[in-house]
Every structure is written in structure tokens, then in C-alpha cells.
Chain A
């Protein structure tokens, strides 16, 4: 409807009321239409052999908010990221798959152009360039570098100044992510959590409009997680859109304005953290896969949910028993 709403003013999203306004007033169904979506995805299907990893009919991501994408292992979240950032091609390519970012259709765009258009991602399995120093990693993230042109690169005069500016920016980001002392170390010498931080900082070097983080907190210690969460919220407050995958429901609850849930490739639920986590479809998705998943809030496991779970387990047992009996006489 209001496709061409103007970009929220910087800092506008720091106001919880403004965020609430963007997440209410419409029905929170999977594939719900958002007041001002920055990313719109239609009919994206990816199959590996016979297995359907992703099958999302419609999804919109609201501009300026932190959206969490959750779902059990193997739900297709990473594959979904790969698809929309151009690292993988949907099986439905050319057959109705369509997605647009910030009003621009990008379903045939290469991964690098997608990144240049302002949607930058990080990887679940960190891709820090370990044989390069931390600062070199950071500098790679900067956009529109004159020195990356083959002909200009030989003449320092053409890029020296820009390089200095980029380095100052990198220093600032490194300081924010507590990596400044490591500036001249090889990225390979960083710890797993530090690499996650480096990758995130590197992605931010390009001043993206939207950042997609695939499990940014995995392996980061609790104290740093706290401050990272703060950073992510700051990014949002500065006007950036954040889409992130996370398994830790405490984190999801803590910072996300909106939650989308995937299971077996499909989008099964959308809504605020609280509504989503009490959604039977979600519990079903999680518990069906992992009976011991901690959904982040024990209160979530209400009596109803527990009963449901017990019933389900009993039903499964019954089925198994029946099968065993059927096989028994053979």
C-alpha cells in the first residue's frame, strides 16, 4: 500500500512508539504486508535433489526495524539468505521467483551487485580472511574505492586520501567492536567470536541500508553479546534495517521488533516475539524437530503447550509401536 513511504529520519526508530506503530495495525500472518517494506520476496523455492530447502511464498521485511529470522536447524534460513543475496539460485528462477530490495528488483542480480545496492550479509561459517590482517579485512569492506581500479591503483595520489579516510572509519568501527588492539594482527589469529565481530564490522564498512546477520552471536561470550546487542540496536536507531538469524531466544526476545519463523523451508509464523513464541505452529515446528529446545522463556512452555507436547510424543510412540508390530512377524 504505502510502498513509497519516505525513509524514516535518522533516529526515528530509537523511539519504541514509532517501532510499535510499524508493527501493529495489521494482521500478523505469515507473509503479512508491512507498512514500508525494504525487502519483498515472492515465490522463492530452492530444492536440493528432491529435498525442498526453501519454499517461501511471500515475505516482507519492514524498513528500519530489527527482524529476527528463527527456525529449527535445517529450516532453510541460511539457504534463504544465500538465495536473496545472490549466492545461490532458486529452483524457481525465471518461473515466478521474484524479490526486490528498496524498490529495485534484484532477483537476477549478482551477489556483488546486491551488496553494492546496500544489502550486506555475514556468513554463518565465518569468512574472515585469515591470511590478511584485521585492518586489511576492514578496508576490503569499503565501497567505491578508487584504488580498486586497475589503472588508478598504480598511482597512490589517486587513492591515498580516500584510503586514509577509510582507515579512520575502520579504526572507529574496530574500536566499537573491541578489536582495535588487534588491528595489525592476522585475522587467522583471532578467536572464533572475534572473527564474528570482525565480519560484522567489515560488513558495516560499506554503510549498508540493510544488514543480514547469520547467527552473529554464535560463539560470542555473554558480556560481549550484551554490548553487541547494544550495537545492533544502535544501528537500527541510526536508520539501518537488520535481519538476523539467531537460535538463542533470549536474544531474539531482547532486541527484535519483529520475528519471522521458518520451518522445513516454509514461513510458518510472523509477529512480535511474544506472539510468535506462543504460536502453536512455532512450538510445533521447534518441538517436532527438537523436543529439548529451549525457547528462551520457560513461561512459554505453558501447560497447554506441555500437554500438546505430551500428546504428540504419545502419538509418535503409538505410531512407532504400530510399525514395529507390523514388521515383527517377518
Chain B
């Protein structure tokens, strides 16, 4: 049993190494295969007196090799280039100006539709400009209607929102009970994914059991952190800003610890590709469905605990007014300890699920979503756990829906942050927060 895993592990390592090698060699391969027709005969690298045009010819089925393209400059000189095995082509422009790139349809395999066959590119010295040509298989249907796309993105948005909610509820609870903006929270999310990689992928623990262990380990790091770091610092009377900078230091250190241990690559929790199912217009992996169900159950449990249990009420009391809470006999230290444990466990769970539904985790995956977490918490109103929940769902939806609604895909995170800033303008206390006391 074990040896099989070792074998698999090795082959994975070999696979990854091969992949990296392939990536490194890709330019060389491209150069060799396109050598025949390419006038320049080398991979184009922009320089101060050279510009480049490059692109990839592919259908939704994959890249197309040996497709011929004609590139005509302003003077009318035409140059022919051919795509490589990976469908890539490039062209070196010796003058700045307008070039027309046209695909030679006769060089295309049969039954392909050329959606965009000609494109005009203005070159500039020192940069590579993309020449975007769109080719489709004949049976490609542009049928995914706007409505279907909207439904699909909404589901994706909810999924992201729920995962963000797991992490941001904890972030919010910590903020509420201690006043601390924990910048290292994101690394805790990453930790969930990376522990998942080690335990489930590398050591072959079952997904459910391994997942449980991951969450417990993350919760333990919460206990440990509060025990050795945050509680002593609170006792020392360290200011909140100082503490926040400590979390920044911790976040930096952790990021590079992850990089140190797993490198800069993306690692996966499970090897096999997830099976996909279609429900109406929505395509979703089974793992995503399970992840969403788990998130909802866990969030509901946290909500119930906060509202109905003694310790939950104590937590809210501490958030409301720590001095008053401790005066009325609540052991604030214990509450805060518990909050750290729960928050870190939730963050770990979030990271594990995130790694499962997005097919992997990297040293900076958490960092990528940290701002979304802060946005969620701020949007909901700093320090209100339920606000964070609502905020997270809103942010998740905004991120996934903004491309459908016309925002360029590059800007989807930016949109979420922009909304946060705009909201602060009109409602500084967040969606569910109360105005702060003055004086």
C-alpha cells in the first residue's frame, strides 16, 4: 500500500519535473518547428530597436500546428510565419507601425470556422504585442446564452463566497474580540491547503479523515499561536498597530516557509481530476458541491453557536465591550483563545476546500484572497461575524459576476476592492455594522 504511494509520489515528482522542463524548453521547440517558414528564424525577443508580434492559434479543442499566417507591414511587404507544435507563432518587427496579420485559411485543417481571421497590430519597440485570432471547430456553438452564463457565474460566486466566508468569519471574530487586523490570516488559509497536500496527497490519508486532521491541526496552530504569541503580547500591553505589524511579519515569514518547503509550484490535495456534473445550465465539480455543503453546514453551526450557546454569547459580549465583559465575570482570555482556535480551524478548512475546488494551492494563494477577506469583513462592518458572512458572499458574487457583466476579466479582483472603497464612502460602518461611538 505504502510503496504504491511512494511510486505514485515519485511519478508525480517526475511529472512535475517534466512539466517544468517542457515549459523551459517550449520556446526552443517553438523555434525549431517554426524555423522553416519564419523569416526571422528565431524566437522573437523585443529589444530597444525591435518589436514583436506573437500569438497562439488554437480552437477550443487544442492548439493547431503548421498553420500559415501572412504578416504585412505598412510598406506592403508580406512575411509568412508558421505555427509551432504548440500553436504558437511570433514575428519580429524591425519598424514601429501597423502590421496586418492574416491567417491562411488553406493551411487550416478542415471543418474549422475562422471567427477572426485578420487582425491589425501596432508594434512598438521593446514589447511583444499579441495578435489575437479566433478559430473554432465547426460544431462550436456560441449557445451559452448570457442568462446561462449568469447562472453559472452566480453559482461560482456563491462557491467562492462561501469559502471566503469560512475564513472571514474567523478574521472578523478575531477583530471583534481583540481589535487586531490579522494579516497572517491568509497564510492560515494557505496552510490548510498545504497540509492537505502533505497529508492527503503525499501521505495518502483518506480525503475525509485527512481533511479532519488538517482542520484539527490548523485549529491547534490557533491555540498555539495564542498561547505563545498573542496572549503574551496582549499581557505586555502591546498596541494594536504594533500587533498588526507583528502579524505582517508572521505573514511574510510563513509565506516564505511555504515556498521553502513546497517551492513556488502549485500543489494539489488529490491527484485525480474531479468528476464534473451538469445541473441545468450549471457545470460544477462534485467536489465543489460537497465543499459548498460543508461550508454551509459549518457556517450554520458557527452561527448557531454564536447565537445560542453560552460561549457564543460570551464571545459576542467580548466583541461588544471587552472591559464590561470581563467586569461581568467573563473570562475574556479564554474566549479569545477559543476564538483563535475556531478562526484558525475555519481558515484551514477554507484553504483545504479552496485547494480542492480550484485544483491546487500555492504559497501565495492565501495572499491572493487576503484582500478579498478584508473586503468581506469591512463590507460587513468590522467585527460583526454575520456581517463578514454577508460581506463574503457579496464579494464572492462580485468577483465571479463582474466579468459576465462586462468588466474585463483582469479586473475582477479590482472590482471587488473598488466596491469596498466606494461603500466606505457612503457607509463607513459597513453593511451590518453600527456607527462607532464618538468621544
**Contacts from A to B (Cβ < 8 Å):** 78-79, 82, 87-88
Contacts and interface: CB of A to CB of B under 8 A. Distances in A.
8 contacts: A78-B439, A79-B439, A82-B438, A82-B439, A87-B438, A87-B439, A88-B438, A88-B439
Given A82-B439, A88-B439, 6 more contacts: A78-B439, A79-B439, A82-B438, A87-B438, A87-B439, A88-B438
Nearest 8 pairs between A and B by C-beta? A82-B439, A88-B438, A87-B439, A88-B439, A87-B438, A82-B438, A78-B439, A79-B439
A88 B438 CA distance: 7
Nearest to A81: B439
Interface in B405-439: 438-439
Contacts of A87: 438-439
A87 B439 CA distance: 7
A93 to B, nearest CB: 13
Contacts of A79: 439
Contacts of A82: 438-439
B321 to A, nearest CB: 14
Chain B: interface size category: under 10
A68 to B, nearest CB: 21
Contacts of B439: 78-79, 82, 87-88
A245 to B, nearest CB: 14
Nearest to A49: B434
Interface of B: 438-439
Contacts of B438: 82, 87-88
A222 B132 CA distance: 86
A82 B437 CA distance: 12
B398 to A, nearest CB: 32
A249 to B, nearest CB: 26
A60 B438 CA distance: 25
A305 to B, nearest CB: 35
A82 B438 CA distance: 9
A47 to B, nearest CB: 12
Nearest to A124: B439
A181 B438 CA distance: 35
A7 to B, nearest CB: 31
A297 B284 CA distance: 81
A79 B439 CA distance: 9
A110 B438 CA distance: 14
Contacts of A78: 439
A87 B437 CA distance: 11
A210 B438 CA distance: 23
Nearest to B437: A48
Nearest to B434: A49
A84 to B, nearest CB: 13
A170 B431 CA distance: 47
B323 to A, nearest CB: 14
Nearest to B438: A88
A78 B438 CA distance: 12
Nearest to B439: A82
A88 B436 CA distance: 11
A78 B439 CA distance: 9
B435 to A, nearest CB: 10
A216 to B, nearest CB: 18
Nearest to A88: B438
A87 B438 CA distance: 8
A79 B438 CA distance: 10
A141 B439 CA distance: 20
A258 B19 CA distance: 88
A104 B84 CA distance: 80
A313 to B, nearest CB: 28
A3 to B, nearest CB: 31
B428 to A, nearest CB: 14
A107 B438 CA distance: 17
B242 to A, nearest CB: 14
Contacts of A88: 438-439
B243 to A, nearest CB: 19
Nearest to A125: B439
B232 to A, nearest CB: 24
A79 B437 CA distance: 12
B44 to A, nearest CB: 50
A240 B439 CA distance: 26
A98 B439 CA distance: 21
A48 to B, nearest CB: 8
A256 to B, nearest CB: 25
A214 B439 CA distance: 13
A245 B232 CA distance: 41
B324 to A, nearest CB: 15
B429 to A, nearest CB: 14
Nearest to A78: B439
